[in-house]
Amino acid sequence: MQIIGSTTTYHGTEHRYLVGYEVRVIAVIKGAAGPDYDPDADGATTASERSEETGREHRRCESEGRHSKGGRNLTDDEDIARAGGVTADDRALVQPWIEKEGRFSFASSDPRAIDLACFAHLAC
């Protein structure tokens, strides 16, 4: 299943501005929605900082001829599969579609994976 680059709809309550919007998945943040997750212990960053960090890590790994999980951000479908796939304890880094401009936003948000239509079945 293709995850990175796929589009889906947000149906959660944490990010009210995204409700009903089409979003593109750009990364999976493993375990970030889990009950034992401590963002302070894991070096918390904002969604925008994670997006920039993910891009830098991806470019560095490409230049070295390898792909990396980039810490807790997974930006490659194969890495996601090796990490056990997407679970109810994960978050996704997403970019909303801006209809008026005909493009995805440069800004990103990190909703729970289960709040995206394509992963809603994981909430059961």
**pLDDT score, position 71:** 37
Q: Which neighbouring-strand residues pair with 91?
A: 29, 112
Give residue 86's pLDDT: 96
Residue appearing with tokens 């493009």: 103
Distance of CA 115 to the CA centre of its chain: 12
- How confident is the model at residue 70, as a pLDDT? 34
Determine the pLDDT at residue 37.
Answer: 79
Q: What are phi and psi of 22, to 5 degrees?
A: -75, 135
Distance of CA 119 to the CA centre of its chain: 12
> If the chain, 124 residues long, is cut into consecutive pieces of 10 residues, what is the mean pLDDT of each piece?
96 95 96 82 53 54 40 87 95 97 96 97 89
pLDDT at 116: 98
CA 124, CA 122: separation in Å to the nearest integer? 5
Contact 6, 77 (CB under 8 A): no
State the pLDDT at residue 53.
58
